[in-house]
Structure 1
Amino acid sequence: MIFIENEGNTNPRLNLALEEYILRNFDPADDYLLFYINEPSIIIGRNQNTLEEINHQYVDENNIHVVRRISGGGAVYHDFGNLNFSFITNHDGKSLSNFKKFTAPVIKVLQSLGLNAELKGRNDIEVEEKKISGTAQFSTGKRMVSHGTLLLDTDLEEVVKALNVKMEKIVSKGHKSVRSRVANISEYLTQPLEIEEFRRLLLEGLYEESEPFERYHLSLKEWQEVHRLKEEKYDTWDWNYGRSPKFNIQRSKRFPIGELDLRIFVEKGHIQEFKIFGDFFGKEPLESLEKFFIGTRYEKEDISAILKNMDIKEYFGDISKDDLVELVYGADVVDSNL
């Protein structure tokens, strides 16, 4: 395992660009570990509709960064009290969605600090039924990134103000509010702990779980490439917000794999636009699925035919084709423009 120094950068766009650059360009014979701390920011999941996940006025007034990441899952709030970790490794097909494998060493370190931490639900680390960490994954070919947050001393009131979290998600977790379902690690420590000391303890704990780490500092040329990726992708409105589709049908439902939110524009009985949003985890890019619906009759049998020979689990995780068809085409849809 090689530990990559991010040189104390706190710009979320730069840190996410660094993470992706390592994933796509560093020697695949090695595994890498990256830590970073971000300025106040909202990090949006790859498949989410940004404008509906944030409190836009509050974000603008408080100069909070809004950045989309390459992995799926839900939106999260970062600030100087939150430590982010990222494992960049090979995968054998079985590692994808295996959050237990990648969170186990982190949980062990948390337990050594006296926390009764455990992996719960799809991808959360919890203490006493409260979330202290969320994780996500993304893969390209044989490489993957498994990354997560660790809420040491985050301003949780800012989480509530900056994010628009849907009630369905809160209820599915058995809580009445965002604030009631999240907690800081500091709440469970017997002694105060600064973020840099927490970073050091976590790194030392992870050292013990692996062969001796190497430390690596990027070269000037490599940093130039990271900055170029930041400017061409993570600084752009298209990546962070994207186009909000024209639609006259919206259908959403929360499944065990997460929420699916469909925006469909149907004109003269045919699908003209088709966009999928959500906080689910999938391997394949949604664009390659969405395009098959364009031009198709908005009829149940036609929609079923599109999906007949597709492995939709590659896009969403464990969901049945019948469930997806029912979500796309429901009997309760009524629109005079169809």
Structure 2
Amino acid sequence: MIFIENEGNTNPQLNLALEEFALRNFSAENDYLLFYINEPSIIIGRNQNTLEEINHEYVEKNNIHVVRRVSGGGAVYHDFGNLNFSFITNHDVKSLNNFKKFTAPVIKVLNTLGLDAELKGRNDIQVDEKKISGTAQFSTGKRMVSHGTLLFDTDLGEVVNALNVKMSKIESKGHKSVRSRVANISEFLKKPLKIEEFRQLLLEGLYEESEPFESYHLTPEEWKAVHQLKEEKYDTWDWNYGRSPKFNIQRSKRFTVGEIDLRIFVEKGHIKDFKIYGDFFGKEPVENLEKLLEGARYEKEDISELLKDIEIQEYFGDIPKIDFIELVYGADEF
């Protein structure tokens, strides 16, 4: 395992660019670990509709960064009290969506600090039924990143202020509000720690779980490439916000794999535009499904025929194909 030094950078666009650069360019002969702390920011899941996930007026007024990541899942709030970790490894079918494997060493370290931490639900680490961490994954097909947030001493009031969390998500977790279902790790510690001290303890604990770590500092040429990726992708409106499609049909449903939210524009009986949003995790890009269905007749038989050879689980996780078809098609008038 090689530990990547991010040199204390706190810009979320730069840190996400560093993560993706390492994922796509560093040697497949090694596994890598990356830690970073971000300035106040909202990190949007790959398949989410940004404008519907954030409190736009509050975000603008308070100069909060809004950045989309490459992995699926839901939007999260970062600030200087939030420690982020990222494991970069070779792609493994058994490891994809296996959050237990990658959270286990983190949970073990938390346990040594006196926290009764455990993995709950799809991808959350909890203590006393309170979420202290969320995790997500992304695979290129050859390499994969498994990353997560650790709420150490985050301003939880800002989580509520900056995010528009849908009631369906809150209700599915059996809580009345966002604030009631999240907590900071610092609340459970027997003695106070600064986040820098916590970061060091976590790193030392992870050392014990693996072969001796080696630290790596990027070369000037590599940093130049990271900054280029930041400018060309993570700084752009197209990546972070994207287009808001014209639609006259909206269908959404929360499955065990997460919420799937469809925006469909039907004109003269044909699908002219099709957009898929949600906080699900999948291996394949949903853009492939969107393109496949655009131009099709808005008829259940036609949609079923187009999807007959498609492995829906590759896009959303474990849901039956018929459930997706029934979500796409309905009796709406257009």
TM-score by length of 1: 0.98
Q: In structure 1, what residue type is equivalent to 2:59?
A: V
Aligned residue in 2 for 1:223: 223
CA distance in 2 between partners of 1:42 and 1:196 (Å) = 22
Aligned residue in 1 for 2:23: 23
Alpha-carbon shift at residue 91 of structure 1 (Å): 2.2
CA distance in 2 between partners of 1:330 and 1:109 (Å) = 49
Aligned residue in 1 for 2:165: 165
Aligned residue in 2 for 1:277: 277
Structure 1: tracts of 5 or more residues without a match: none
Kindly report structure 1 stretches of 4+ aligned residues shifted beyond 3 Å.
none
Alpha-carbon shift at residue 32 of structure 1 (Å): 0.2
2:190 counterpart of 1:190: yes
For structure 1, which segment, 163-172 or 88-97, has the greater mean C-alpha deviation from structure 2 after superposition?
88-97
Alpha-carbon shift at residue 237 of structure 1 (Å): 0.1
What secondary structure is seen at the aligned counterpart in 2 of 1:245? coil
CA distance in 2 between partners of 1:45 and 1:55 (Å) = 16
Alpha-carbon shift at residue 321 of structure 1 (Å): 1.0
Structure 2: tracts of 5 or more residues without a match: none
- Cα shift readout 1:185-205 (whole Å, capped 9, x = no counterpart): 011011111010000000000
Alpha-carbon shift at residue 81 of structure 1 (Å): 0.2
Aligned residue in 2 for 1:258: 258
**Aligned-residue CA RMSD in angstroms?**
0.5
Aligned residue in 2 for 1:296: 296
Alpha-carbon shift at residue 92 of structure 1 (Å): 2.1
Q: In structure 2, what residue type is equivalent to 1:187?
A: E
Aligned residue in 1 for 2:80: 80
What secondary structure is seen at the aligned counterpart in 2 of 1:14? helix
- Cα shift readout 1:159-180 (whole Å, capped 9, x = no counterpart): 0000000000000001000000
Aligned residue in 1 for 2:49: 49
Q: In structure 2, what residue type is equivalent to 1:96?
A: L
Q: State the identity %.
A: 82
Alpha-carbon shift at residue 18 of structure 1 (Å): 0.1
2:295 counterpart of 1:286: no
TM-score by length of 2: 0.99
CA distance in 2 between partners of 1:304 and 1:319 (Å) = 15
CA distance in 2 between partners of 1:220 and 1:228 (Å) = 12
CA distance in 2 between partners of 1:249 and 1:325 (Å) = 14
Q: In structure 1, what residue type is equivalent to 2:62?
A: N
CA distance in 2 between partners of 1:195 and 1:186 (Å) = 9
Aligned residue in 2 for 1:213: 213
Alpha-carbon shift at residue 307 of structure 1 (Å): 1.0
Alpha-carbon shift at residue 93 of structure 1 (Å): 1.0
Alpha-carbon shift at residue 282 of structure 1 (Å): 0.4
CA distance in 2 between partners of 1:4 and 1:236 (Å) = 25
Aligned residue in 1 for 2:113: 113
CA distance in 2 between partners of 1:327 and 1:92 (Å) = 30
What secondary structure is seen at the aligned counterpart in 2 of 1:96? coil
Alpha-carbon shift at residue 15 of structure 1 (Å): 0.1
CA distance in 1 between partners of 2:289 and 2:304 (Å) = 13
- Cα shift readout 1:82-120 (whole Å, capped 9, x = no counterpart): 000000001221110000000000000000000000000
Aligned residue in 1 for 2:58: 58
